[in-house]
Amino acid sequence: MTIETLCQFYPISARTLTRHINGFLQSTPSFPHPKTKKAIWLKVDATHLGRWGCITVFKAGTDILYWQFSEREYYDVYRTGLVWLIKSGYVILGITSDWHGSIVTAVQSVLQNIPHQRCLVHTQRLCQGLITTKPKTEAGNMLLGVIRELNHVHNQYEARIWIKWLTLWSRRYTSLIKERSYGIKDDGKRTWWYTHKNLRRAFRTVWLTQNHLFLYLDHIGLDKDTNGLEAEFTYLKEKLCIHRGLKRNRQREFMIWYLYFKSH
Protein backbone atom coordinates (compact mmCIF):
# COMPACT_ATOMS: atom_id res chain seq x y z
CA MET A 1 0.00 0.00 0.00
CA THR A 2 1.08 3.59 -0.51
CA ILE A 3 1.77 5.97 2.37
CA GLU A 4 -1.43 7.89 1.59
CA THR A 5 -3.45 4.67 1.90
CA LEU A 6 -1.77 3.67 5.16
CA CYS A 7 -2.50 7.06 6.71
CA GLN A 8 -6.21 6.41 6.26
CA PHE A 9 -5.99 3.47 8.67
CA TYR A 10 -3.63 4.84 11.32
CA PRO A 11 -3.62 8.17 13.22
CA ILE A 12 -0.29 9.33 11.82
CA SER A 13 0.75 11.94 9.28
CA ALA A 14 2.27 11.06 5.93
CA ARG A 15 5.45 12.95 6.87
CA THR A 16 5.92 11.01 10.11
CA LEU A 17 5.19 7.69 8.44
CA THR A 18 7.68 8.49 5.68
CA ARG A 19 10.36 9.21 8.29
CA HIS A 20 9.69 5.88 10.01
CA ILE A 21 9.78 3.96 6.71
CA ASN A 22 13.01 5.64 5.63
CA GLY A 23 14.64 4.72 8.93
CA PHE A 24 13.46 1.14 8.49
CA LEU A 25 14.80 0.94 4.93
CA GLN A 26 18.21 2.26 5.94
CA SER A 27 18.73 -0.51 8.51
CA THR A 28 19.27 -3.14 5.83
CA PRO A 29 19.42 -6.77 7.00
CA SER A 30 22.19 -9.31 6.53
CA PHE A 31 22.01 -12.57 4.61
CA PRO A 32 20.36 -15.51 6.38
CA HIS A 33 22.63 -18.19 7.86
CA PRO A 34 21.62 -21.82 8.42
CA LYS A 35 21.82 -23.07 12.03
CA THR A 36 23.45 -26.28 10.85
CA LYS A 37 24.94 -27.50 7.58
CA LYS A 38 22.21 -27.58 4.96
CA ALA A 39 22.23 -29.36 1.60
CA ILE A 40 20.71 -27.31 -1.22
CA TRP A 41 19.99 -27.45 -4.94
CA LEU A 42 20.81 -23.95 -6.15
CA LYS A 43 19.33 -21.71 -8.83
CA VAL A 44 21.30 -18.64 -9.91
CA ASP A 45 20.29 -15.81 -12.20
CA ALA A 46 20.59 -12.06 -12.65
CA THR A 47 18.15 -9.41 -13.81
CA HIS A 48 19.03 -6.02 -15.24
CA LEU A 49 17.73 -2.84 -13.63
CA GLY A 50 18.05 -0.38 -16.46
CA ARG A 51 20.94 2.05 -16.51
CA TRP A 52 22.11 1.38 -12.99
CA GLY A 53 23.17 -2.23 -13.31
CA CYS A 54 21.75 -5.58 -12.29
CA ILE A 55 21.10 -7.76 -9.27
CA THR A 56 22.33 -11.35 -9.01
CA VAL A 57 20.26 -13.71 -6.84
CA PHE A 58 20.94 -17.19 -5.43
CA LYS A 59 17.85 -19.23 -4.55
CA ALA A 60 17.27 -22.72 -3.13
CA GLY A 61 13.74 -24.09 -3.10
CA THR A 62 11.52 -21.18 -2.04
CA ASP A 63 14.28 -19.37 -0.11
CA ILE A 64 16.49 -16.58 -1.41
CA LEU A 65 19.90 -17.02 0.19
CA TYR A 66 22.16 -14.36 -1.31
CA TRP A 67 22.05 -11.33 -3.58
CA GLN A 68 24.45 -8.73 -4.87
CA PHE A 69 24.19 -5.54 -6.93
CA SER A 70 26.69 -4.83 -9.70
CA GLU A 71 27.04 -2.97 -12.98
CA ARG A 72 26.59 -6.22 -14.91
CA GLU A 73 27.15 -9.97 -14.53
CA TYR A 74 30.71 -10.48 -13.32
CA TYR A 75 32.74 -13.59 -12.51
CA ASP A 76 33.67 -12.09 -9.12
CA VAL A 77 30.00 -11.62 -8.20
CA TYR A 78 29.17 -15.27 -8.80
CA ARG A 79 32.35 -16.54 -7.17
CA THR A 80 31.84 -14.38 -4.09
CA GLY A 81 28.28 -15.66 -3.75
CA LEU A 82 29.27 -19.31 -4.04
CA VAL A 83 32.14 -18.94 -1.57
CA TRP A 84 29.88 -17.14 0.93
CA LEU A 85 27.25 -19.89 0.74
CA ILE A 86 29.86 -22.61 1.33
CA LYS A 87 31.45 -20.77 4.27
CA SER A 88 28.01 -20.12 5.76
CA GLY A 89 27.27 -23.83 6.01
CA TYR A 90 25.40 -24.58 2.80
CA VAL A 91 26.33 -27.78 0.96
CA ILE A 92 25.65 -27.16 -2.72
CA LEU A 93 24.55 -30.38 -4.40
CA GLY A 94 23.93 -28.88 -7.86
CA ILE A 95 23.33 -25.63 -9.72
CA THR A 96 20.97 -24.48 -12.44
CA SER A 97 21.88 -21.33 -14.37
CA ASP A 98 21.42 -19.58 -17.71
CA TRP A 99 24.99 -20.61 -18.66
CA HIS A 100 26.36 -17.08 -18.73
CA GLY A 101 30.12 -17.28 -19.15
CA SER A 102 30.82 -15.73 -15.75
CA ILE A 103 28.71 -18.23 -13.76
CA VAL A 104 30.14 -21.19 -15.72
CA THR A 105 33.70 -20.10 -14.92
CA ALA A 106 32.83 -19.40 -11.28
CA VAL A 107 31.29 -22.84 -10.77
CA GLN A 108 34.29 -24.52 -12.39
CA SER A 109 36.69 -22.68 -10.09
CA VAL A 110 34.75 -23.17 -6.84
CA LEU A 111 32.71 -26.37 -7.32
CA GLN A 112 34.26 -28.54 -9.99
CA ASN A 113 32.50 -31.84 -9.35
CA ILE A 114 28.84 -30.90 -8.97
CA PRO A 115 26.14 -31.16 -11.68
CA HIS A 116 25.63 -27.83 -13.44
CA GLN A 117 22.34 -27.81 -15.34
CA ARG A 118 21.93 -25.39 -18.23
CA CYS A 119 18.51 -23.70 -18.03
CA LEU A 120 16.42 -25.21 -20.82
CA VAL A 121 14.09 -22.20 -21.03
CA HIS A 122 16.97 -19.78 -21.60
CA THR A 123 18.56 -22.19 -24.08
CA GLN A 124 15.40 -22.71 -26.08
CA ARG A 125 14.62 -18.99 -26.12
CA LEU A 126 18.13 -18.13 -27.31
CA CYS A 127 18.16 -20.73 -30.09
CA GLN A 128 14.67 -19.89 -31.35
CA GLY A 129 15.63 -16.21 -31.43
CA LEU A 130 18.65 -17.02 -33.59
CA ILE A 131 16.80 -19.36 -35.94
CA THR A 132 13.58 -17.25 -35.97
CA THR A 133 10.09 -18.75 -36.16
CA LYS A 134 10.21 -18.87 -39.96
CA PRO A 135 13.65 -20.08 -41.09
CA LYS A 136 14.48 -19.61 -44.75
CA THR A 137 16.46 -22.83 -45.10
CA GLU A 138 15.64 -26.50 -44.74
CA ALA A 139 18.40 -26.82 -42.14
CA GLY A 140 16.87 -24.01 -40.11
CA ASN A 141 13.43 -25.61 -40.16
CA MET A 142 14.84 -28.97 -39.14
CA LEU A 143 16.87 -27.52 -36.25
CA LEU A 144 13.92 -25.44 -35.07
CA GLY A 145 11.88 -28.63 -34.80
CA VAL A 146 14.57 -30.22 -32.65
CA ILE A 147 14.92 -27.15 -30.43
CA ARG A 148 11.17 -26.95 -29.83
CA GLU A 149 11.25 -30.44 -28.30
CA LEU A 150 13.98 -29.55 -25.81
CA ASN A 151 11.57 -28.75 -22.99
CA HIS A 152 9.46 -31.85 -23.60
CA VAL A 153 12.09 -34.38 -22.50
CA HIS A 154 10.87 -36.25 -19.40
CA ASN A 155 13.09 -39.32 -19.14
CA GLN A 156 16.40 -40.80 -20.26
CA TYR A 157 14.88 -42.56 -23.26
CA GLU A 158 13.49 -39.29 -24.62
CA ALA A 159 16.82 -37.58 -23.90
CA ARG A 160 18.68 -40.18 -25.97
CA ILE A 161 16.20 -39.70 -28.81
CA TRP A 162 16.67 -35.93 -28.67
CA ILE A 163 20.48 -36.26 -28.75
CA LYS A 164 20.12 -38.66 -31.70
CA TRP A 165 18.06 -36.08 -33.62
CA LEU A 166 20.71 -33.45 -32.95
CA THR A 167 23.48 -35.81 -34.05
CA LEU A 168 21.68 -36.65 -37.30
CA TRP A 169 21.20 -32.92 -37.96
CA SER A 170 24.92 -32.39 -37.39
CA ARG A 171 25.90 -35.11 -39.85
CA ARG A 172 23.60 -33.74 -42.52
CA TYR A 173 24.31 -30.02 -42.23
CA THR A 174 27.86 -29.70 -40.87
CA SER A 175 29.17 -28.55 -44.24
CA LEU A 176 26.42 -25.92 -44.43
CA ILE A 177 27.27 -24.24 -41.12
CA LYS A 178 30.95 -24.23 -42.12
CA GLU A 179 30.29 -22.22 -45.29
CA ARG A 180 32.09 -18.89 -45.42
CA SER A 181 31.45 -15.61 -47.18
CA TYR A 182 34.30 -13.31 -48.17
CA GLY A 183 34.53 -9.57 -48.60
CA ILE A 184 36.76 -6.50 -48.53
CA LYS A 185 36.92 -4.05 -45.59
CA ASP A 186 36.93 -0.28 -46.04
CA ASP A 187 40.70 -0.30 -45.57
CA GLY A 188 41.09 -2.77 -48.43
CA LYS A 189 41.87 -5.83 -46.31
CA ARG A 190 40.14 -9.12 -46.99
CA THR A 191 37.76 -10.55 -44.41
CA TRP A 192 35.37 -13.48 -44.01
CA TRP A 193 32.42 -14.60 -41.91
CA TYR A 194 30.26 -17.67 -41.56
CA THR A 195 27.44 -17.44 -44.10
CA HIS A 196 24.86 -18.95 -41.73
CA LYS A 197 26.27 -17.54 -38.50
CA ASN A 198 22.99 -17.46 -36.53
CA LEU A 199 22.15 -21.04 -37.51
CA ARG A 200 25.68 -22.07 -36.61
CA ARG A 201 25.48 -20.37 -33.21
CA ALA A 202 22.11 -21.95 -32.41
CA PHE A 203 23.43 -25.41 -33.22
CA ARG A 204 26.67 -24.97 -31.27
CA THR A 205 24.74 -23.63 -28.28
CA VAL A 206 23.16 -27.05 -27.70
CA TRP A 207 25.83 -29.24 -29.31
CA LEU A 208 28.72 -28.03 -27.14
CA THR A 209 26.71 -28.21 -23.88
CA GLN A 210 24.62 -31.33 -24.52
CA ASN A 211 26.13 -33.00 -21.45
CA HIS A 212 24.56 -30.27 -19.30
CA LEU A 213 21.07 -30.25 -20.81
CA PHE A 214 19.52 -33.27 -19.12
CA LEU A 215 21.32 -33.57 -15.77
CA TYR A 216 17.99 -32.99 -14.00
CA LEU A 217 16.96 -36.49 -15.09
CA ASP A 218 19.81 -38.01 -13.06
CA HIS A 219 19.56 -35.77 -9.98
CA ILE A 220 16.23 -35.46 -8.18
CA GLY A 221 16.00 -31.92 -6.81
CA LEU A 222 17.98 -30.30 -9.61
CA ASP A 223 15.74 -27.91 -11.55
CA LYS A 224 15.82 -27.92 -15.33
CA ASP A 225 15.25 -24.16 -15.51
CA THR A 226 15.43 -20.96 -13.47
CA ASN A 227 11.75 -20.09 -13.84
CA GLY A 228 11.40 -19.78 -10.07
CA LEU A 229 13.87 -16.91 -10.11
CA GLU A 230 12.36 -15.33 -13.21
CA ALA A 231 9.05 -15.15 -11.34
CA GLU A 232 10.75 -13.49 -8.35
CA PHE A 233 12.24 -10.86 -10.64
CA THR A 234 8.84 -10.19 -12.19
CA TYR A 235 7.18 -9.71 -8.79
CA LEU A 236 10.04 -7.53 -7.57
CA LYS A 237 9.85 -5.21 -10.58
CA GLU A 238 6.06 -4.98 -10.22
CA LYS A 239 6.54 -3.81 -6.62
CA LEU A 240 9.20 -1.32 -7.71
CA CYS A 241 6.84 0.03 -10.35
CA ILE A 242 4.23 0.75 -7.68
CA HIS A 243 6.85 2.69 -5.69
CA ARG A 244 8.63 4.23 -8.68
CA GLY A 245 8.74 7.59 -6.89
CA LEU A 246 11.49 6.30 -4.59
CA LYS A 247 15.01 7.60 -5.14
CA ARG A 248 17.58 5.17 -6.43
CA ASN A 249 19.17 4.46 -3.05
CA ARG A 250 15.70 3.85 -1.57
CA GLN A 251 14.86 1.48 -4.42
CA ARG A 252 18.02 -0.46 -3.64
CA GLU A 253 17.11 -0.66 0.06
CA PHE A 254 13.56 -1.66 -0.84
CA MET A 255 14.85 -4.55 -2.99
CA ILE A 256 17.15 -5.75 -0.21
CA TRP A 257 14.25 -5.91 2.26
CA TYR A 258 12.03 -7.60 -0.31
CA LEU A 259 14.63 -10.31 -0.93
CA TYR A 260 15.29 -10.67 2.79
CA PHE A 261 11.62 -11.32 3.53
CA LYS A 262 11.54 -13.84 0.67
CA SER A 263 14.33 -15.74 2.42
CA HIS A 264 12.20 -16.48 5.50
Q: Tell me the per-residue pLDDT of 200-236, one tens digit each, with 9 for 90 and over.
A: 999 999 999 999 999 999 999 999 999 999 999 999 9
Q: Tell me the per-residue pLDDT of 118-162, one tens digit each, with 9 for 90 and over.
A: 999 999 999 999 999 999 999 999 999 999 999 999 999 999 999
Mean pLDDT of 187-207: 95
In the chain, domain spans: 34-115+219-264, 121-213
Neighbours of 94 (CB within 10 A): 20
Distances (CA, A) of 134 to 49, 139, 142, 231: 32, 12, 11, 29
pLDDT at 148: 96
Give the Cα separation of 190 and 116 in Å (integer). Answer: 41
Mean pLDDT of the chain: 92
Q: Tell me the per-residue pLDDT of 57-104, one tens digit each, with 9 for 90 and over.
A: 999 999 999 999 999 999 999 999 999 999 999 999 999 999 999 999
pLDDT at 221: 94
Say yes or no to pLDDT of 171 above 90.
yes
pLDDT at 264: 65
Give the Cα separation of 180 and 237 in Å (integer). Answer: 44
More confident residue, 23 or 81: 81
Model confidence band, residue 53 (pLDDT cutoffs 50, 70, 90): confident
Give the Cα separation of 226 and 103 in Å (integer). Answer: 14
Mean pLDDT of 28-50: 89
Say yes or no to pLDDT of 263 above 80.
no
pLDDT at 182: 94
DSSP count for the chain of H helices, then E strands: 10, 7
pLDDT at 34: 82
Report strand pairing: 180-184 vs 63-70. unpaired
For residue 194, the cross-strand partners are: 180
Mean pLDDT of 234-258: 87
More confident residue, 245 or 146: 146
- pTM (two decimals): 0.90
**What number does CATH give the domain 34-115+219-264?**
3.30.420.10
Q: Is 110 helix (H, G, I), strand (E, B) or coil?
A: helix
pLDDT at 117: 98
